[in-house]
Amino acid sequence: MKRLIFVIISCVFFVALNSRHIIAQSSKESDYNKGKTLYKNKCQFCHGILGDGKGPASEPLLRHPVDFTDSEFWQEDVEKKIDETIKKGKEMMPAFVLEPGQIKAITVYITGTFKKATQNNK
C-alpha cells in the first residue's frame, strides 16, 4: 500500500513538473511568434531579414542600423539594450511606443533568431 501511494505521488509530481515546463515552452513560442511579426512590421525594414543591419531602408542612413548577427552586440545586457532603444530611440532610430509584452516578444525573437545564428557562425 505504501509503495502504491509513493508511486502515485511520484507520478503526480512528475506530471506537475513537466506541465510547468510545457506551459513555459508554449509561452516562449507564443512570444517568439509575436516577436517575429513585430520585427517584420517594425524592425525589418532597417535591420533586414537576416538582422544584419542591411534592410532596404538602411542604405541612405548615415550609419547602418545595429547588426544583430555581430557577436559584439551580444556582449552587454541585451534585454535592457533592446528595451531602452525601442522606448527612447538611438541615433537614427526613432522611439517606438510598444507595450512591455511586445518589447519582450521582439527580444525573444531577436535572441532566438539572430543570437543563435551568431553562435552557429563561429
Cell of 51: 538582422
Delimit the domains of the chain by residue range: 28-120
pLDDT tens-digit map of 20-34: 444 445 567 899 999
Once rounded to an integer, what is the mean pLDDT over residues 50-79? Answer: 90
Give me the residues paired with residue 93 across strands. Answer: 90
pLDDT tens-digit map of 66-94: 999 999 999 989 899 999 999 999 888 99
How far apart CA 69 and CA 87 sit, in angstroms, is 22
Cell of 17: 513538473
DSSP string over 25-47:
HHHHHHHHHHHHHHIIIIIHHHH
- Tell me how crowded residue 52 is: count the other CB atoms within 10 A of its CB: 18
How far apart CA 53 and CA 62 sit, in angstroms, is 13
Once rounded to an integer, what is the mean pLDDT over residues 99-118? Answer: 90
Is the domain spanning 28-120 CATH 3.20.20.210? The answer is no
